[in-house]
């Protein structure tokens, strides 16, 4: 029997705001535990929430980028449960009136076909505190409690671990490009619950779904699904019945294991939050947010390929980060060689930035300077090899390439008389190679050419040097 997998993802994304969802506490990552807290996010009785409008606006922006219908009226609900990460015993969330419905994420399949994975909804809620368990004690850090969290729920339309990977990658790219979230997974800004079931091909009804909780890497999602799908199929083939349960993923052994079965399913007793007004999204507010809509990464990728004649790979690397794409476009404005600029950005520049642990915003080389370097190389003023040294110097000093070339006398020598002098010197110093060449050993010229480059410290135009050398060897 043939089986197929059905996957639906619930993705939690931390919305990028200066303050928390319902209080004024800071949202900076990495502060000492419980230093960014107040009575509201600690859940003290009697404290009152105040809605962060920026979080609502950014969630609407996400909805617009993903083609969702934006609710003109939505409300807040209490999701009731008891757990140390939420001392007021409820989380403020959105139940039956979320901010966004519908829409989708376009992904490219292996065979280059494009499909849209539909979204059910996007709602906004507050994050909960973070529990840590030590040897003999446990701790709760409330810095995370109350951070604005967007939940993006997909339709059960994802069919394979690779598609789940592509979906999350595309979603992340879109949200980052719009400034909705940094989606930094190492900081827990994007976390995902994977729902997965299998069914015999041809069967209409879905199988019972298994939910794998709290995945925090995109590759982890792919691996967990690649483990879980065959596990379910094997169980079915053995005649076992799969019943709905929640599982956890253990990354090291690469297996999932049971967390809780359906008997322990929560009943959250949702009811409307009495301390917050419903949200009215006005025409004016929607229009304002529409103005902020950026070009979507996929559209930008296509444009980069057409406008700058870049291969798909280059365009893909450049558009993953909106700031990197902007850097590239600024540099290109000063240059006649978009492909060469792309080569420098995607290899040397990204390499140096990673090495120095800098973001593109902190890049010491201004875009016009990179363009100038490419112009110097294309114009033959310096060789490509010296260009790399100049680049390294630009990166550490922030100086312009022409200043570095001038200060260090690195300009390529294209002056015939000067090259002839180096060639004469190489010939004079290496009589044996000259004899070898004359005796018919063609390869000897390569050694001599190497000597010319060495004598000139790599500065002579290699092609001219080769021509002059050949002329002299034949002529003399
Ligand atoms: P719950 O109330 O348990 O969270 P939902 O119906 O809200 O369940 O669905 C949660 C997620 O699970 C959604 O992304 C949905 O697409 C997905 N899903 C629902 N049913 C199935 C199924 N049988 N197999 C795989 N995924 C499913
Ligand atoms: Mg769920
Ligand atoms: Zn607070």
Give the three-state DSSP class for 112: coil
Cα–Cα distance list, 23 to 29, 143, 281 (Å): 17, 12, 21
Pocket test for ligand 1, best of 122, 156, 212 (most atoms within 8 A of CB): 156
Pocket test for ligand 1, best of 98, 163, 195 (most atoms within 8 A of CB): 195
Asked whether the CA dihedral 196, 197, 203, 204 is positive or negative, the reply is negative
Which helix (H) or strand (E) segment is 195 a member of? strand 190-200
Q: Is 156 in the pocket of ligand 1 (CB under 6 A)?
A: yes
Contacts of 326 (CB under 8 A, 6+ apart): none
Examine the pLDDT at 123 and tell me if it is beyond 60.
yes
Q: What is the mean pLDDT of residues 324-328?
A: 95
Please give the Cα distance from 218 to 234 (Å, whole number).
25
The pLDDT, as a whole number, for residue 115 is: 95
Q: Are strands 245-250 and 210-215 parallel, antiparallel or unpaired?
A: parallel
Please give the Cα distance from 106 to 126 (Å, whole number).
28
Which ligand 1 atom sits nearest the alpha carbon of residue 206? 23
The pLDDT, as a whole number, for residue 312 is: 93
Residue at token pair 């930094």: 184
Query: Looking at the whole model, is its pTM more than 0.85?
Result: no
Q: Do 326 and 294 form a contact (C-beta atoms < 8 A)?
A: no
141-153: pLDDT as tens digits? 999 999 999 999 9
Rg of the chain over Cα atoms, rounded to whole angstroms, equals 30
Q: What mean pLDDT value characterizes the chain? A: 93
Q: What topology does CATH give the domain 416-475? A: Arc Repressor Mutant, subunit A (1.10.10)
404-440: pLDDT as tens digits? 988 877 777 777 888 889 999 999 999 999 999 988 8
The pLDDT, as a whole number, for residue 464 is: 86
212-231: pLDDT as tens digits? 999 999 999 999 999 999 99
Please name which of 408, 427, 409 lies closest in space to residue 465, comparing C-alpha atoms: 427
234-291: pLDDT as tens digits? 999 999 999 899 999 999 999 999 988 876 667 899 999 999 999 999 999 999 999 9
Please give the Cα distance from 387 to 398 (Å, whole number).
15
Q: Is 346 in the pocket of ligand 1 (CB under 6 A)?
A: no
Please name which of 351, 419, 410 lies closest in space to residue 382, comparing C-alpha atoms: 410
The pLDDT, as a whole number, for residue 192 is: 97
45-104: pLDDT as tens digits? 999 999 999 999 999 999 999 999 999 999 999 999 999 999 999 999 999 999 999 999
Contacts of 415 (CB under 8 A, 6+ apart): none
The pLDDT, as a whole number, for residue 23 is: 98
Which helix (H) or strand (E) segment is 317 a member of? helix 312-319
Q: What is the mean pLDDT of residues 358-372?
A: 94
The pLDDT, as a whole number, for residue 216 is: 93
Q: Is 276 in the pocket of ligand 1 (CB under 6 A)?
A: no
Q: Do 25 and 38 form a contact (C-beta atoms < 8 A)?
A: yes
164-198: pLDDT as tens digits? 999 999 999 999 989 999 999 999 999 999 999 99
Pocket test for ligand 1, best of 8, 160, 194 (most atoms within 8 A of CB): 8
Q: Is 153 in the pocket of ligand 1 (CB under 6 A)?
A: yes
Asked whether the CA dihedral 163, 168, 173, 174 is positive or negative, the reply is positive
Cα–Cα distance list, 355 to 144, 311, 366 (Å): 30, 26, 18
DSSP 249: E
Please give the Cα distance from 38 to 47 (Å, whole number).
9
* Distance between Cα 91 and ligand 2 center (Å): 15
Q: Are strands 77-80 and 90-93 parallel, antiparallel or unpaired?
A: antiparallel
* Distance between Cα 207 and ligand 1 center (Å): 11
Q: Do 448 and 469 form a contact (C-beta atoms < 8 A)?
A: yes
Q: Which ligand is nearest to the CA of 159?
A: 1
At 345, is the pLDDT very low, low, confident or very high (cuts 50, 70, 90)?
A: very high
At 379, is the pLDDT very low, low, confident or very high (cuts 50, 70, 90)?
A: confident
16-46: pLDDT as tens digits? 999 999 999 999 999 999 999 999 999 999 9
* Distance between Cα 267 and ligand 2 center (Å): 12
The pLDDT, as a whole number, for residue 160 is: 97
Examine the pLDDT at 126 and tell me if it is beyond 70.
yes
Examine the pLDDT at 476 and tell me if it is beyond 70.
no
User: What angle separates helix 416-429 from helix 444-455, to the nearest 10 degrees?
Assistant: 120
Give the three-state DSSP class for 151: strand
Q: Are strands 210-215 and 190-200 parallel, antiparallel or unpaired?
A: antiparallel
User: Where does 320-467 show beta strands of DSSP type E?
Assistant: none
Please give the Cα distance from 366 to 356 (Å, whole number).
16
At 298, is the pLDDT very low, low, confident or very high (cuts 50, 70, 90)?
A: confident
- Centroid of chain to Cα 414: 44
Tokens (6 digits) for 372: 């100038």
The pLDDT, as a whole number, for residue 265 is: 66
Q: Residues in the chain, how many?
A: 476
* Distance between Cα 286 and ligand 3 center (Å): 28
Which ligand 1 atom sits nearest the alpha carbon of residue 196? 25
The pLDDT, as a whole number, for residue 264 is: 67
Please give the Cα distance from 119 to 102 (Å, whole number).
5
Which residues of the chain form CATH 1.10.10.410? 416-475
Q: What number of helices (H) and strands (E) belong to the chain?
A: 16, 17
Pocket test for ligand 1, best of 159, 209, 265 (most atoms within 8 A of CB): 209
Q: How far apart are the first and last CA of the chain?
A: 82
* Distance between Cα 43 and ligand 3 center (Å): 9
Residues with CB under 5 A from ligand 3 (ion): 23, 25, 38, 40-41
């Amino acid at each position: 029997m043939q089986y197929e997998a059905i996957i639906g993802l619930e993705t939690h994304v931390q919305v990028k705001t200066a303050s928390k969802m319902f209080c004024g506490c800071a949202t900076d990552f990495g502060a000492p535990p419980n230093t960014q807290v107040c009575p509201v996010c600690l859940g003290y009785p009697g404290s009152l929430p105040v809605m962060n409008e920026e979080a609502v606006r950014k969630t609407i922006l996400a909805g617009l980028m993903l083609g969702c219908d934006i609710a003109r009226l939505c409300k807040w609900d209490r999701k009731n449960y008891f757990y140390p990460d939420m001392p007021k015993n409820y989380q403020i969330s959105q139940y039956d009136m979320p901010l966004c419905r519908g829409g989708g994420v376009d992904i490219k399949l292996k065979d280059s076909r494009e499909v849209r994975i539909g979204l059910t909804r996007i709602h906004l809620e507050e994050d909960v505190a973070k529990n840590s368990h030590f040897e003999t004690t446990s701790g709760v850090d409330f810095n995370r409690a109350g951070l604005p969290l967007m939940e993006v729920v997909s339709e059960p339309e994802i069919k394979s671990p690779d598609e789940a990977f592509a979906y999350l990658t595309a979603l992340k790219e879109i949200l980052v490009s719009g400034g909705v979230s940094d989606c930094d997974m190492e900081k827990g800004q994007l976390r995902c619950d994977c729902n997965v079931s299998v069914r015999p091909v041809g069967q209409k009804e879905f199988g019972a779904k298994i939910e794998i909780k709290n995945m925090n890497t995109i590759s982890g999602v792919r691996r967990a699904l690649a483990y879980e799908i065959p596990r379910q199929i094997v169980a079915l083939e053995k005649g076992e019945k799969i019943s709905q349960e929640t599982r956890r993923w253990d990354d090291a052994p690469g297996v999932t294991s049971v967390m809780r079965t359906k008997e322990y399913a929560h009943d959250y007793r949702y009811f409307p939050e009495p301390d917050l007004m419903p949200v009215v999204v006005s025409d004016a507010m929607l229009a304002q947010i529409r103005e902020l809509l950026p070009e979507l990464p996929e559209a930008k990728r296509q444009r980069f390929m057409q406008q700058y004649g870049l291969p798909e790979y280059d365009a893909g690397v450049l558009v993953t980060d909106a700031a990197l794409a902007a850097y590239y476009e600024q540099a290109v404005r000063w240059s006649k060689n978009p492909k060469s600029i792309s080569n420098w950005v995607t290899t040397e520049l990204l390499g140096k930035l990673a090495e120095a642990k800098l973001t593109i915003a902190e890049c010491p080389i201004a875009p016009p300077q990179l363009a100038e370097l490419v112009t110097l190389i294309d114009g033959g003023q310096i060789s490509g090899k010296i260009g790399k040294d100049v680049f390294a110097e630009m990166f550490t000093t922030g100086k312009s390439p022409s200043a570095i070339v001038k200060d260090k006398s690195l300009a390529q020598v294209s002056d015939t008389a000067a090259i002839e002098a180096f060639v004469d010197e190489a010939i004079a110093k290496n009589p044996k190679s000259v004899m070898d060449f004359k005796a018919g050993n063609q390869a000897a010229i390569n050694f001599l050419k190497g000597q010319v480059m060495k004598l000139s410290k790599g500065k002579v135009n290699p092609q001219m040097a080769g021509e002059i050398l050949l002329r002299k060897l034949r002529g003399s």
